[in-house]
Amino acid sequence: MNRTSRLASFALLGASLAGCAVGPDYEAPKAQAPASWQAAHSGNGQLPPAEGSVRLTEDWWTLFNDPVLNNLQRRADKASPDLNTAVLRFAQSRMQRQMVAAQRGVDVNASGAVNRQRMSENGANALMIQRIAPGADSDEISKVLAQPFTLYQAGFDASWEPDLWGRIRRSIEAADASVAAQQAMFYETRLGVSAELARAYFELRGVQQQIAVARQDIAATEESLQLIQVRADGGLVDDFDVERQRGQLAELRASLPQLQASESAAINQIGVLIGAEPGSLRDDLKPVAQPAPQTPDLSLGVPSELARRRPDIRAAEAQLHAATANIGVAVADLYPAIRLGASFGYESADDGKFSDWGSRTWSVGPSLSLPIFDNGRRRSQINLRKLEQQEAAVSYQQTVLRAWQEVDDALSQYGAERQRNQRLQEKLSSSGAAYGMAKARYAGGMTDFLVELDAQRAYLQSRRDVVDSDTQLRLTLIALCKALGGGTPVTEGAASRS
């Protein structure tokens, strides 16, 4: 067999061996899921909402049917600093994957050089002349050889490493898993930003409603104070009732500054989330009448779908996949590495003969790298990768457990707040009727002012409680949507900005 045949056979052998890959193959973990959400509930079975027909979409915040919130979410999707950072990290992972995949191809490089050189008269050349021609005038020959000359060089070389043990294949597998993890992290960031924005928005609306209620209460209390003052001037009541009403009015007025400060802070928080400058949202977030909060029964599906909907679970699984593939990369370093290479070029000390066929140089053949002794470094690298895989497996299990806890807590809080809101609405109706009767009786002289004042305080507190409960009901619904994955796309694809 001639040299060309041997090289071709060697290349075919390398190509056939490139089909194998050392290291463990990844197996997706199976999360143990109960048969239903109620079966996994830790508390009172009456708290979780019944499953209905409302299903979460990717734009889950449209459940609230609020045009202002929808517009803010679109602005956040385009300008949120957190989302921009997540997109850049995803793009970096894609570039990293391309760099890893490039190892499968042939490396081709071109080179050229022009060097002015001079060899030493007392170097290795002089020693070689003395041993080859002992009787010759070595000094004269060395001076001739040491004359400066210009060396012209140009050419190219190509090399290819057959993936005999699957090192490159495992590297690409790990890179693909890292891309999937970064994509899931993008969706997790998007879900977190949208949930935080919705939460800040409804907290703002809640504060604005509290301000509106406080101003209405102040106006009503001022009117009541004028009537009591008229009665006191007529001698029908003493000044004690007047001072009590003035104290009630002062208490209501004292609550306004803190509420106004909370309104300003909420607007600024929304601005940070959507990348807006302070003060630029003042007109967009003017107080508006808020309808009664919607409390839909969500179609939760089966619990096993949670692992496909929650981006943090998908990211943890992808990280486990990458850690498993990295074991194969480390194992492949224990085996020999073979590289096939070839080069061709021209070299001449005479620029006039540089392009002559006789100035050509070439080489072709494989090179072998065989690890023999490294003081246990490669074995330690394998053990390190195995420990990293075990850590990733534990992290995945912890992420799944945390997801179950968040869903169960959100279900309980949502169900509890729905019931609380209903009871507070009943209390508001009763306290309003009681306050009306107390005012009528006081006006008719049937009771003293203390009865009316107590009824008024109870009614005002009921109004504040209902406004607070309306806000909390929206916030618990946001928490539930986030815990369920917020409509994150189930199928993997390129992360895109809407």
Amino acid in the structure at residue 51: E
374-407, pLDDT tens digit by residue? 899 999 999 999 999 999 999 999 998 888 888 8
Give the integer Cα–Cα distance in Å for 147 and 151.
13
Which one is the CATH code of 108-161+337-370: 2.20.200.10, 3.40.50.300, 3.10.20.10, 3.20.20.120? 2.20.200.10
Distance CA 229, CA 223 (A): 10
- Flag whether pLDDT at 96 surpasses 90: yes
**Residue 46's pLDDT band (cuts 50, 70, 90):** low
Higher pLDDT, 279 or 397: 397
**Of the ranges 227-231, 297-301, 348-352, which one carries the lowest mean pLDDT score?**
297-301
Q: Where are the domains of the chain?
A: 20-104+165-335+378-483, 108-161+337-370
C-alpha distances (whole Å) from 240 to each of 224, 323, 449 are: 14, 77, 9
Q: Per-residue pLDDT for 330 more than 90?
A: yes
pLDDT over 80 at 291, yes or no: no
Q: Where are the beta strands (DSSP E) in 86-221?
A: 107-117, 149-160
pLDDT tens-digit map of 408-454 = 888 888 888 888 988 999 998 998 898 888 878 877 777 766 677 77
Residue 89 has pLDDT above 60, yes or no: yes
pLDDT for residue 138: 67
**How confident is the model over 138-160, as pLDDT tens digits?**
677 777 777 888 888 999 899 99
How would residue 361 be classed by pLDDT, with cut points 50, 70 and 90? very high
Q: Is the pLDDT of residue 23 over 80?
A: yes
- Residue 350's CB is within 10 A of a number of other CB atoms, namely 12
Q: What is the pLDDT of residue 5?
A: 54
Q: What is the pLDDT of residue 494?
A: 39
- Say if residue 185's pLDDT is above 70: yes
Residue 10 above 60 pLDDT? no
Identify whether the C-beta of residue 46 lies closer than 8 Å to the C-beta of residue 415: yes
Residue 342 — pLDDT band, cuts 50, 70, 90? Answer: very high
CATH homologous superfamily, domain 20-104+165-335+378-483 = Outer membrane efflux proteins (OEP) (1.20.1600.10)
Could you tell me how far CA 480 lies from the centroid of its own chain?
19
| Helices within 26-159 (DSSP H only) | 67-79, 81-101, 124-132, 138-145
Strand arrangement, sheet containing 360-369: 107-117, 149-160, 337-348, 360-369
Distance CA 366, CA 341 (A): 6
Mean pLDDT computed over 53-70: 82
The pLDDT-based confidence of 53 (bands split at 50, 70, 90) is very low
The upper half-sphere exposure of residue 279, i.e. CA atoms within 13 Å in the direction of its Cβ, equals 0
β-pairing, 107-117 vs 149-160, is antiparallel
Which of 29-33, 133-137, 326-330, 450-454 has the least mean pLDDT?
A: 133-137
Rounded Cα–Cα distance for residues 188 and 77 (Å): 13
Q: Check pLDDT > 90 for residue 177.
A: yes
Band of residue 242 on the pLDDT scale cut at 50, 70, 90: confident
Q: Which run of H or E residues covers position 342?
A: strand 337-348
Neighbouring C-alpha atoms within 13 Å toward the C-beta of 194 = 28
CA 448 to chain centre: 62
Q: Which residue has the higher pLDDT, 487 or 413?
A: 413
Inter-residue contact 360 to 345 (CB < 8 Å): yes
Contact predicate 225/304, CB 8 Å:
no
pLDDT at 498 over 70: no
Question: What is the spatial distance between Cα 413 and Cα 476, in angstroms, rounded to a whole number?
Answer: 6
At 50, the pLDDT band (50, 70, 90 cuts) reads very low
pLDDT of residue 30: 80
Listed residue (43, 64, 30, 99) closest to 471, CA to CA: 64
What average pLDDT does this structure show over 312-335? 93
Lowest mean pLDDT among 53-62, 180-189, 364-373, 375-384: 53-62
CA distance 195 to 355: 70
For 46-50, 211-215, 353-357, which range has the lowest pLDDT when averaged over its residues?
46-50
Collapsing DSSP to helix, strand or coil, 482 comes out as helix
Between 492 and 443, the higher pLDDT residue:
443
**236 pLDDT more than 80:** no
Of 302 and 461, the structure prediction assigns the larger pLDDT to 461
Tell me the HSE value of 374 on the side-chain side, using a 13 A CA sphere. Answer: 12
- Residue 7, pLDDT score: 47
How much is the pLDDT for 33? Answer: 67
Angstrom distance (rounded) from CA 341 to CA 153: 19
Q: Read off the DSSP letter of residue 298.
A: B
Per the model's pLDDT, the better-predicted residue between 442 and 225 turns out to be 225
